[in-house]
Amino acid sequence: MGDYLKALEFCEKSLEIRKKGLPSNHPSLATSYSNIGQVYNNMGDYSEALEFREESHQIYEKALPSNDPSLATSYDNICQVNDNMDDYPKALEFSEKLLKMKEKSVSVDHRDLAASYSNVGDVYDKIC
């Protein structure tokens, strides 16, 4: 088990520094928010995790092109948190967004596309 409080402390320091030196829509800020969200997710505090993951996602959506891999990761992160919260309709929404993105950006036999199909199937399995 990790030292979540220590991890949170360092992730929050990183965010504070980045907030001082970067514009509010900079992708590095999104990374900091996402990292904090991951710590909360690991702690099992899914509502906090979702808040930070969504903040991260909003920045990525504004700052990055629609096919950027960081945006894809963000979709997956939000899907995972919603899945952990048993909010399967929301998890499905984000897993399908990720799938659509992958369908446009990788070849039909790419492993990332296969993983996206599998993730959507897993969420549907939990809904039933």
Residue-level pLDDT at 32: 98
Regarding whether 72 and 126 lie in a shared domain, the answer is yes
Residue-level pLDDT at 21: 97
Regarding whether 71 and 126 lie in a shared domain, the answer is yes
Regarding whether 72 and 30 lie in a shared domain, the answer is no
Question: Model-level pTM?
Answer: 0.91
Least confident of 1-5, 12-16, 122-126: 1-5
Regarding whether 26 and 2 lie in a shared domain, the answer is yes
Regarding whether 54 and 83 lie in a shared domain, the answer is no
For the chain, what is the domain count?
A: 2
Residue bearing the bigger pLDDT, 93 or 1: 93
For residue 1, what pLDDT band results from cuts at 50, 70 and 90?
Answer: low
For residue 91, what pLDDT band results from cuts at 50, 70 and 90?
Answer: very high
- DSSP result, the chain: ---HHHHHHHHHHHHHHHHHHS-TT-HHHHHHHHHHHHHHHHHT-HHHHHHHHHHHHHHHHHHS-TT-HHHHHHHHHHHHHHHHTT-HHHHHHHHHHHHHHHHHHS-TT-HHHHHHHHHHHHHHHHH-
Regarding whether 75 and 33 lie in a shared domain, the answer is no
Q: What is the mean pLDDT of residues 104-117?
A: 91
Regarding whether 53 and 80 lie in a shared domain, the answer is no
> Residue 92's domain spans which residues?
67-128
